[in-house]
Structure 1
């Protein structure tokens, strides 16, 4: 069978496209999403929906609340664990969930904050009052660029000072499953 010039060109382009598509697997972030339910209903800052994304450049945690307020007493902590052989997380980012506050990423050991002080690297907290959402983003370099990590979340509302309300994602000190960075898209 004799191939025409047009057919040879089409076959060559198809082969090149197939080679490119099969040699480069699309990388995307591994994501964990869940509903937390109304388990801390005495607080306006009860975690309801959580989405954690472990990308190739950053870790992003998006938490939806039923009624996030600019004035309040609630504090949110994102615990990050990258070493399954050590007890507890290696890092935590704690942020008040109200206006005029500051946040910090710190090192942890056995669920306690180390005395090193805040880590100097790129991380942010964005409190979106009108959408009732808190978004935490941490560069993976801050965490030593782990291939996998898992996350635990806690909200603590000190609304009356004597009866704090605590809301963990899942059970107390329970982590998500391990999330790989830049997993191939399904």
Structure 2
């Protein structure tokens, strides 16, 4: 009888293993609110949403007050596409103002390395929503099935005052997002 109970317990434990992986940690999209923690900047990040679609990774960043005419702020989005290696493999730096360029590059130790990648990316300002939408083709990121991002806003509000706002926190990532 003990062997039968033990066998049933082993089977039940094996059946429960897939349940140990939290479904909320792997989703097609993730959205995270950020508190007002960079009040010295109008570009204080308020919310980040990442959608890992079939061909494109969309990152929508809401800020306190998006002023594309006079802002000096910029955002860097780091993409971790390989959880077995520390840190992100790719990054894109985007302006929070009109008239500037952006580029996807490889990343090593949280720094841009190499030449800009020749791949599809787009930037859309949504001033009525105080948001910017960044689109990066999955091919630009090595076509990962899962990825996670970290976001940092930087603005030099005066010669001696640089404001930074990390989401979720300095050199940490949002939860993994699975391609839909």
Q: What's the TM-score, normalizing by structure 1?
A: 0.79
Q: In the alignment, which residue of structure 1 is the partner of 2:36? A: 38
Aligned to 1:67, the other structure's residue is in SS state coil
Q: In the alignment, which residue of structure 1 is the partner of 2:118? A: 120
What residue ranges of structure 2 are gaps of 5+ in the alignment? 1-26
- 1:117-171 per-position Cα deviation (integer Å, ceiling 9, x unaligned): 1100101111222321110001111111101001000000112132100000121
Choose which of 132, 157, 161 in structure 1 pairs with 2:159. Answer: 161
Q: What's the TM-score, normalizing by structure 2?
A: 0.82
RMSD (CA atoms): 1.2
Checking the alignment, whether the CA contact within 8 Å between 2:30 and 2:50 is kept in structure 1 is: yes
Q: In the alignment, which residue of structure 1 is the partner of 2:71? A: 72
Aligned to 2:45, the other structure's residue is in SS state coil
What is the number of residues matched between the two proteins?
Answer: 153
Answer with 1 or 2: which has the greater Rg. 1
Aligned to 1:141, the other structure's residue is in SS state helix
What residue ranges of structure 1 are gaps of 5+ in the alignment? 1-28
- Considering fraction of residues, name the structure with more strand: 2
Checking the alignment, whether the CA contact within 8 Å between 1:40 and 1:167 is kept in structure 2 is: yes
Runs of 4+ in 1 over 3 A off after TM superposition: none
Aligned to 2:122, the other structure's residue is in SS state strand
Matched residues in 1 for 2:49 and 2:84: separation?
25
Matched residues in 2 for 1:73 and 1:159: separation?
8
Q: In the alignment, which residue of structure 2 is the partner of 1:18? A: none
